[in-house]
Amino acid sequence: MTDDRHFLRLEVVSPDGPVFAGDVAMVVVPALRGELGILPRHAPLVAQLAIGELRVKTLDDTWIRLAVAEGFVKVQFDKVIVLADAAELAGEIDVARAESALQRAKERLALIRDGKVPAGEEIDPYRETMALRRAKNRLAVVKKG
Ligand code: ATP
């Protein structure tokens, strides 16, 4: 029996709403265990997303890049749903904002490292490390795009 499904339906959703939706040729997602390439007829799957770059090959063979934060990807019946804490198309990333988020996280982590967190203030090292990673990822995606 022939199978003529040559595309995937991709939906990328963040808490703010849809970020991308369309029929595409291939999706490469940053999963916790490494990059995951998804083509039509992929087996059903649920995986956890890492902070990283999501690449989309369009039906006219160009690539679209997005920066994504943590979340999940689900694949079933040629439909790929990406639910991410944050997702931005490369062209929509605000570089100055990412640079200042990076700087802020670095400064806060330095305060912890040097034992100089002001009295009465709390800085969560995990939170700052994740903020640093998100900012670095955004800057890396912009650079490549
Ligand atoms: P910031 O401290 O600048 O808010 P953050 O990493 O804490 O950075 P997130 O919590 O990941 O921000 O995202 C909050 C919202 O802001 C999301 O909708 C995300 O897509 C958007 N966002 C965050 N940083 C940028 C950026 N540099 N450019 C465009 N959108 C961004």
- Residue 19 CB–ligand 1 contact under 6 Å: no
29 lies in the same domain as 69? yes
pLDDT tens digits, one per residue of 59-98: 999 999 999 999 999 999 999 999 999 999 999 999 999 9
Find the domain containing 107 and state its range.
Answer: 94-144
33 lies in the same domain as 68? yes
Other beta carbons less than 10 A from residue 4's beta carbon: 5
Nearest CA to ligand 1 atom 10: 86
Tell me whether residue 35 is in a domain.
yes
81 lies in the same domain as 17? yes
Token digits for 130? Answer: 């994740």
**pLDDT confidence of residue 54:** 98
3-state secondary structure of 97: helix
78 lies in the same domain as 98? no
**What is the pLDDT confidence band of residue 4, given thresholds at 50, 70 and 90?**
low
Query: Whole-angstrom Cα distance, residue 43 to residue 105?
Result: 39
Query: Domain containing 127 — which CATH number?
Result: 1.20.5
- Which atom of ligand 1 is found nearest the CA of 69? 11
70 lies in the same domain as 112? no
Nearest CA to ligand 1 atom 13: 86
Task: Quote the number of domains for the chain.
Answer: 2
- Residue 102 CB–ligand 1 contact under 6 Å: no
**What is the pLDDT confidence band of residue 5, given thresholds at 50, 70 and 90?**
low
